[in-house]
Amino acid sequence: MKDMYPKNGRVILHVDMNSFYASVEMAYDPSLKGKPLAIAGNPEERRGIIVTCSYEARKFGVKTTMPLWEAKKLCPNLIVKKPDFERYRAASMGMFELLNQYSKLVEPVSIDEGYMDITDSFELGSPLEIAEQIQKQLIRQLDLPCSIGIAPNKFLAKMASDMKKPLGITVLRKRDIPTVLWPMEAGEMHGVGKKTAEKLKNIGVHTIEDLAKANEIQLKSLLGINGIRLRERANGIDNRPVDPDAISEFKSIGNSTTLPKDIANQQELFKVLDRLAEKVSVRLKRKKVMATTLSITIRYKDRHTITRSKKLMNPVSTQEEILKMAKQIFVSHWTGHAVRLLGITGTDLVENDQAVKQLDLFSYEKDAKKEPLINTVSKLKEKFGAHIIEQASNLSNDKKQQIGTETSFNKDFLQVDKMKKQDD
């Protein structure tokens, strides 16, 4: 059986549950099976939004994020249920417990999907046999359907799992890329959203093949480091490991605080933003990431809440940078009324070594002064390794304790955010 596995490469599965929320409701109440079912917020109100729906409902044109009134117009017999997140979390835990029976390397991506590295699971059967066993066991034990992609890396496995739904199993090898992947529209590729697809069309990139063969300099100018990464993916290159601890990583980092009293004084509100900027900065540095988008949440005395975001020219992580941008966004959108709650959130996170700073006329002089030091640090890292020099804020607690107990970076607010993902 070991001969059916690559000698040097990996075998990765992407397990994607089909219409997860709807499927969990059907498993809980079998009378719903075979019927057009939708899970929606505020089903009693016309402005409710479809969170997910069964494949029977999709046949009528019902889609995720569609307004409920529109879905009912397309499908008058649509059954609508409120989300039961405790039920969905329990089903998710059962799913991942089952996946861990087949490999120690299971990386949850969200509540209803995850990657598995089964390279060392050859004693359990061939990759295809393992995928079939998982699919059948999920049906038998949890009554939940899934689609599975089998590939040599995470990107190809994700693309493969999307190709046959529901209850599909797809093998996608690197040699299949030119015939299977490249003819697809660039917008169908994992990691390419609508806005990115539109930008790519403007430079003549319409298919995944166009992206795979696109000019690197042009892509980097258009999309930054993400453009290079997408080009690599389009060529089937993805060296990311399956990391069981990756689910704890932040997709956004933010802090908010409810004020002890409603405040309308701008300087006092700036002090609150300063404290929030400090907390967000510490957490960004702790995770060794930088934010390329910053959001401000303002809740007024009457509980009316707004969130406003700004895409940043340069990634930020320091308290000073975050506070400066937070003030700008706040002043632009604050009505002057008393504020009950303030929040700062950094999103579109990039790892420190991937953050590309775009120098402008205002920052050039300051950065130029740092250039000799940066060059020296780069040479040291090249000679002795990437971790020979680290910022104190990036050191682990063990390393900090070795330096001296007088420096403490422990904060009560360093807690892992709970992330919710809308069901596909």
CATH number at residue 109: 3.30.70.270
| 23 and 165 belong to one structural domain | yes
| 254 and 305 belong to one structural domain | yes
| 125 and 161 belong to one structural domain | yes
122 neighbors 2 (Cβ within 8 angstroms): yes
| 227 and 255 belong to one structural domain | no
Strand 50-53's sheet: what is its strand order? 50-53, 37-40, 79-81
344 neighbors 295 (Cβ within 8 angstroms): yes
- Domain assignment present for residue 410? The answer is no
Q: Which domain holds residue 346?
A: 249-354
pTM over 0.85: no
| 7 and 49 belong to one structural domain | yes
Q: What is the pLDDT along the chain (424 residues), one digit of tens a residue?
A: 777 788 889 999 999 999 999 999 999 999 999 999 999 876 665 567 898 999 999 999 999 889 999 999 999 999 999 888 889 989 999 999 999 999 999 998 888 999 999 999 999 999 999 999 999 999 999 999 999 999 999 999 999 999 999 999 999 999 999 999 999 999 999 999 888 999 999 999 999 999 999 999 999 999 999 999 999 999 999 999 999 877 555 567 889 998 989 999 999 999 999 999 999 999 888 887 888 889 999 999 888 889 998 988 788 899 999 999 999 999 999 999 999 999 999 987 877 655 544 434 344 444 444 445 545 555 554 555 544 444 444 444 444 343 332 222 222 222 323 333 334 4
Of the three residues 172, 193, 210, the one that is the final residue of a domain is 172
Set 25, 107, 113, 278: catalytic member? 113
| 227 and 257 belong to one structural domain | no
Q: Confirm whether residue 16 is marked as ligand binding.
A: yes
The domain tally of the chain equals 3
Q: Confirm whether residue 3 is marked as ligand binding.
A: no
| 182 and 282 belong to one structural domain | no
| 62 and 40 belong to one structural domain | yes
Instruction: Collect all residues with Cβ–Cβ distance below 8 Å to 122 and sequence separation of at least 6.
Output: 1, 2, 4, 5
Tell me the C-alpha distance between 69 and 48, whole Å. Answer: 8
Residue (of 325, 205, 207, 327) closest to 266 by Cα position? 327
259 neighbors 298 (Cβ within 8 angstroms): no
**Is 113 one of the catalytic residues?**
yes
DSSP state of 389: S
Of the three residues 324, 354, 384, the one that is the final residue of a domain is 354
